[in-house]
Structure 1
Amino acid sequence: MSVDLDEIRRIRAEADCLCSAQQVETALDTLAQQITARLGDSNPLVYTVMNGGLIFAGRLLPRLAFPLETAYLHATRYGHRTTGTLLDWRVRPTQDLRGRSVLILDDILDEGHTLAAIIEHLKSEGAREVLTAVLVHKSHDRKAYPGMRADFSGLDVEDRFLFGCGMDYKGYWRNTDGIYAVKGL
């Protein structure tokens, strides 16, 4: 598969900036304060959902000044299912979760079906509690269940095709500092 780098560059050049780098930094600081207040004394295990959560985790974790363990997982839903816990695990959780507080970090809560299935799986493995943190909450009514939100959300963003801060356009621009929307989408 050949990538048209001119198209990739054009998408970034024409994109609408929805949240500036400074707004992202402020959101990260606020998230860190909220997470510290809730989990600072609980010895949590923090899972990053790959690949989108990588940039978010790399920017958030240094702001959490309390003892924690980190790990990662990588899961996608099977086919076109929209409910249930059937996941295609690329990398499964490997730590013993029994009795642990677990925090899941991901870049965005869009529809949330995969995140809901990951939560269910971690609970079934014995986690005492499973909390979620996302940089972006996409505003729409197509969530996995009505009113679904992460326990910690940084920025509420309109329902558009987003990239930046871990979110990608055709595998590119995860490394962009702000949150951008593809022009016209």
Structure 2
Amino acid sequence: MTQRPYHIEEMISAKAIAARIETLAHEIRQSFAQTDNLVVIGLLRGSFVFIADLVRDLDMNVEVDFLEISSYGDNTESSREVRILKDLRGTIEGRDVLVVEDIVDTGHTMAATMAHLNARKPHRLETIALLNKQTRREVPFTATWTGFEIPDAFVVGYGIDYAQANRNLPYIGTVVFEDNVS
């Protein structure tokens, strides 16, 4: 796939992300105060930076596991076909679980993920999304916690990629495609 030329404009600064995660971690600690060992499940690959920062701020016993889910490939639009590429290593039956997602867009990925995890009979299953694009929702889904509401824009950074590039940016940026010049 040939990528169109683009540049990135900062949307959410690294400082704003860090401050929001600190607030979210406090709320999660309060909500799970009675939990001895929370299972935090990151949806790969986009959530890896978010989950790392979040669990460091949780200041409670956590077990971390990952699911690798794909619905984008190298495209800027969801295929709406959700595939599980890597499943959990541990069990969640009877446990308190927090699912960490980078961005909720159409809702297809989270709906499929929640169905997949609910079938494993957790005691409690909650969700957190760093970013939410409510205007793009096709499947009803609302995360328990949300970092930021964003407009319908293609974003990268802080673990989120475009064709596997830009995950290492410390901020969330909007991809702005440049017009083709003849």
- TM-score higher than 0.5: yes
CA drift of 1:27 comes to 1.1
Q: Contact between 1:27 and 1:135, CA under 8 Å: does it hold in 2?
A: no
Q: In structure 1, what is the Cα distance between the partners aligned to 2:109 and 2:8?
A: 27
Q: Contact between 1:51 and 1:74, CA under 8 Å: does it hold in 2?
A: yes
Aligned residue-pair number: 173
CA drift of 1:96 comes to 1.9
TM alignment of 1:135-150, pairs within 5 A:
135-145=130-140, 148-150=141-143
1:71 to 65, 70, 75: 65
Q: In structure 2, what is the Cα distance between the partners aligned to 1:87 and 1:36?
A: 31
Q: TM-score if structure 1 supplies the norm length?
A: 0.83
1:107 matched to which residue of 2? 102
2:166 to 169, 173, 180: 173
Q: Contact between 1:40 and 1:67, CA under 8 Å: does it hold in 2?
A: no
Q: TM-score if structure 2 supplies the norm length?
A: 0.84
Q: SS in structure 1 opposite 2:176?
A: coil
Matched, 1:47 2:41: yes
Matched, 1:61 2:55: yes
2:87 to 83, 86, 92: 92
Q: Deviations over 1:11-61 (max 9, x none)?
A: 4xx322111111111111111111111113212211111100101111111
1:19 to 12, 15, 19: 12
Q: Contact between 1:30 and 1:154, CA under 8 Å: does it hold in 2?
A: no
* Structure 2 spans left out of the alignment, 5+ residues: 73-77
Q: In structure 2, what is the Cα distance between the partners aligned to 1:105 and 1:132?
A: 6
Amino acid at match of 1:117: A
Larger helix fraction of residues = 1
Amino acid at match of 1:101: D
Q: Deviations over 1:44-83 (max 9, x none)?
A: 21111110010111111100101111111112359x885x
Amino acid at match of 1:179: I
